[in-house]
C-alpha cells in the first residue's frame, strides 16, 4: 500500500522491508493495547512495562507515529 504512493527507485532485489514491516506490526500491537485494552488490567500492565513507562500517556499516539515512520521507510 505504501509503495503505491511514492516513486519506485529501488529494484525488487534491493528492497529492505523487514524493519518497516516490524514497525507496522508494533503499531498494530500498540494500537490494540493503547486504544482497545486501555481500561483492562492486561492493557494497563502491558502499557506500564512498555512504551507507556517511557513516555506516559503520550503512548496513545505512538501507533500513528510508527505507521507514519514505516510508510516513510517503505
Q: Which pLDDT tens digit goes with each residue over 22-37?
A: 999 989 988 888 888 8
Residue 48 belongs to domain spanning = 17-73
Model confidence, pTM: 0.70
Answer whether 6's CB lies under 8 Å from 32's CB.
no
User: Does some domain include residue 12?
Assistant: no
User: Is 61 a member of any domain?
Assistant: yes
Q: Is residue 47 part of a domain?
A: yes
Query: Could you tell me if residue 50 is inside a domain?
Result: yes
Residue-level pLDDT at 59: 81
Residue 44 lies in a domain: yes
Is residue 31 in some structural domain? yes
Give the residue among 35, 5, 10, 24 at the shortest CA–CA distance from 66.
24
Is residue 25 one of the residues assigned to a domain? yes
pLDDT band at 39 (very low <50, low <70, confident <90, very high): confident
- How many distinct structural domains can be found in the chain? 1
Amino acid at each position: 500500500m505504501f509503495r503505491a504512493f511514492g516513486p519506485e527507485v529501488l529494484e525488487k532485489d534491493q528492497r529492505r522491508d523487514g524493519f518497516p514491516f516490524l514497525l507496522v506490526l508494533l503499531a498494530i500491537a500498540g494500537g490494540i493495547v493503547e486504544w482497545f485494552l486501555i481500561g483492562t488490567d492486561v492493557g494497563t500492565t502491558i502499557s506500564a512495562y512498555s512504551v507507556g513507562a517511557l513516555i506516559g500517556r503520550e503512548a496513545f499516539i505512538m501507533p500513528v507515529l510508527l505507521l507514519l515512520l514505516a510508510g516513510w521507510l517503505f
